[in-house]
Amino acid sequence: MKLLELEPKGRFVFVEDTHGDLTASIKVVEMHLNIDTKIIFLGDYVDRGSDSKGNINYLLKKKAEDPDKIHLLQGNHETYCTLELSPADFWKNLKSNEKEKYHNIFKKFPLAVSV
């Protein structure tokens, strides 16, 4: 199992199921990202919402900018290429090369966190 192990130091904010809600993701990051806080997104960044691609791209950018403070776990909506599910509007609207790109990114995400 891919486990994300974090030191039990500082404050943790856990966020679940943003499902294409870019506004919510931005608000969480703006409200909580600081020197003492780590934000752990628990997966399901895509499908159902109006801006799945914008949401995941924003979170990937924030993770790249602050890798010790932003953590992205894999939810069931990120496993579509290995286990199809519904709704899957994000995946169904991607070109095949984009599907492969996101699948390769998502499969590297941890499945669980230990603090």
The yes-or-no answer on residue 77 being catalytic is yes
pLDDT digits (tens, 9 = 90+) for 48-99: 889 999 999 999 999 999 999 999 999 999 999 888 888 899 999 999 999 9
Q: Domain map of the chain by residue range?
A: 9-109
Whole-number pLDDT of residue 81: 85
The distance of Cα 89 from the centroid of its chain, to the nearest Å, equals 16
Indicate which residue of 19, 32, 77, 103 is catalytic.
77
Whole-number pLDDT of residue 49: 87
Concatenated DSSP letters for 9-53?
Answer: -SEEEEE---TT-HHHHHHHHHHH-STTEEEEE-S--SSSSS-HH
Q: Residue 22, CB half-sphere, CA atoms under 13 Å: how many? A: 11
Whole-number pLDDT of residue 54: 98
Q: How confident is residue 1, by pLDDT bands cut at 50, 70 and 90?
A: low
CB 16 within 8 A of CB 48: no
- Output the pTM of the full model: 0.94
Domain boundaries 9-109, CATH class: alpha beta
